[in-house]
Chains A and B, each alone.
Chain A
């Protein structure tokens, strides 16, 4: 498999951010090309949680990997939209795991052709 999935739960705020960072770091260190973060069980994200997403995207970008975010609840979607994370070229947002996985496998395919 070319991607790992991290599926945090509950609130991604200051107290939760260190564990979220650990989970993401562990997943990216495992060496998969891409990472998917599934937000379906996340009710709230603060700036401290957003920081972890940025760290993950940059870590993956360094080795040509992509970060796919999926199943964002309304608060998470709104905060990420307002933060204008589209500035990160290797980050994409998807409605569910299936479309996220499609996008990541497509990226792998294109990378292998190139």
Chain B
């Protein structure tokens, strides 16, 4: 049975409900980000069946910023394998701001790939492994996930490069810890380019559903990420994806997600949908205010939370028949 139109009605009502919320402020740590129109709001949902539903400014481009991190991490997992990846970066939530200049004192490695230190470590390892073509390969990878050719916003990229002093400090810290051995400037160049890729809410929904769809883009059919890379990436998004507000997000929305200071959020319902939202005003943690409200509304209405009372869990356990009524217990 299909209830056509329900999803469109829902996203339209969420759009209407939140488009007048003016809480939060534009990111201002680089001048270019403070120049975008703050009033935009776009919502997109893409399903593993290949349907895309969207409303508002869902085709408006903005810079991906930190939302590139999980996809670069997945690419590194596929490129060098799990063992080598985890020699360079951990999977432990740090609880510190995303731009903290620190490594995990137990391992001398970044806490996780969702903070800047971890993402720069991932860039260093990609550059070391793939050489000068690393960025083009990364851009292709993200484009394969989105299902279209993506481009860099050169103005934002220059702005990032001119003002990224903290990130340079992190780069040198990582170089000193021998996380990578290539030149710090080249690694930072890759990192700033990655942050400056232009996407839309629809792109984010497609990139999300590619993760949801076992790493394969449901519209183009192209296989983009391996199954182990997808599982590890979604795990890290769940524990670390929303900066230092991830704990509250886990309780309220309960989905693996990643936010960016460009105003985007991608969220994933495993094996079902990818969600992309865009609205530029951010809260103190650096997450889109309206974007989070929309995701909370979607989770409540659609029962998306991983631990929602309507979520019936592992299909494998269902196949074993353990949950059929009246089987009685076997405590032998």
Identify the A interface with B (CB < 8 A): 13-15, 44, 46-48, 50-51, 54, 74-75, 78-79, 82-84, 86
Contacts and interface: CB of A to CB of B under 8 A. Distances in A.
A25 to B, nearest CB: 17
Interface string B293-320: 0000100111110001110100000000
Contacts of A75: 1, 3
Nearest to B323: A84
Nearest to B309: A54
B325 interface: yes
B6 interface: yes
A82 to B, nearest CB: 8
A54 B310 CA distance: 10
B3 A84 contact: no
A50 B309 contact: yes
Interface in B242-276: none
Given A14-B301, A46-B303, 12 more contacts: A13-B301, A15-B13, A44-B3, A44-B6, A46-B300, A47-B304, A47-B308, A48-B301, A50-B310, A74-B1, A78-B1, A82-B310
Contacts of A84: 312, 323
18 contacts: A13-B10, A14-B300, A14-B301, A46-B10, A46-B300, A46-B301, A47-B302, A47-B304, A50-B303, A51-B309, A54-B309, A74-B1, A75-B3, A78-B1, A82-B310, A83-B309, A83-B310, A83-B312
A50 B308 CA distance: 11
Given A14-B297, A78-B1, A47 B325 contact: no
B301 A47 contact: yes
Contacts of A44: 3, 6
3 closest pairs, A vs B, by CB?
A47-B303, A83-B310, A46-B301
A51 to B, nearest CB: 7
B43 to A, nearest CB: 15
